[in-house]
Amino acid sequence: MKVNILSAVLILFVIGNLHAINPISIEAHTSTIFTVQDYLDMDYKEYREITGSKWVLGDRLKHKATKRYLEYQLKQNRIEAYEDLNQAVGAFDFKWGAFFLGFFLNILGIILVLLFYGSPRKDALVSWLIGFLIGSVGIGVFLR
């Protein structure tokens, strides 16, 4: 029972941090476009000067995770150092409809996701998968 509860909490933690590799929205506070290299060179003090706001602990962890992700992508030559930051990271857009289809309709939900979601289906499929996994764990916990 403890293992099931722990796995459910872990899954909820992962859902809460799906956006961990998205850059903190710096471009909303300034008119310049940030490149990957600008983001890698940025530290807490520079961010505070640009936006005028402080980072909380979660923002610092997101920044570290994003930096490591971008450094890995640079080593693998998948992105360029002077590429636009938002294009390089490829922000994840969580689809709540697909999540609920996976949560409530399980396998039938994937058919509906494939039929009704447009061409960028990757985000919808990932959201469906998360809903399916949480729904399956929930059913397993309650039927036990």
Residue ranges of the domains in the chain? 1-18+92-144, 23-89
138 Cβ partners below 8 Å, 6+ apart? 8
Pair of tokens at residue 27 = 């471009």
pLDDT at 1 > cutoff 60: no
Region 6-25: what's the mean pLDDT?
Answer: 50
What are 33-51's pLDDT values in tens digits? 777 788 788 887 887 787 7
In terms of pLDDT, which residue wins out, 52 or 98? 98
Binned at pLDDT 50, 70 and 90, residue 17 comes out as: very low
* Residues 100-113 pLDDT 10s: 999 999 889 999 99
The residues pairing with 84 across neighbouring beta strands, listed in sequence order, are 35
Kindly state the average pLDDT of the residues 53-80.
Answer: 79
Other Cβ atoms less than 10 A from the Cβ of 63: the count is 19
What CA–CA distance (Å, rounded) separates 64 from 70? 10
As a whole number of angstroms, the distance between CA 130 and CA 122 comes to 12
pTM comes to: 0.47
Across 1-5, average pLDDT: 56
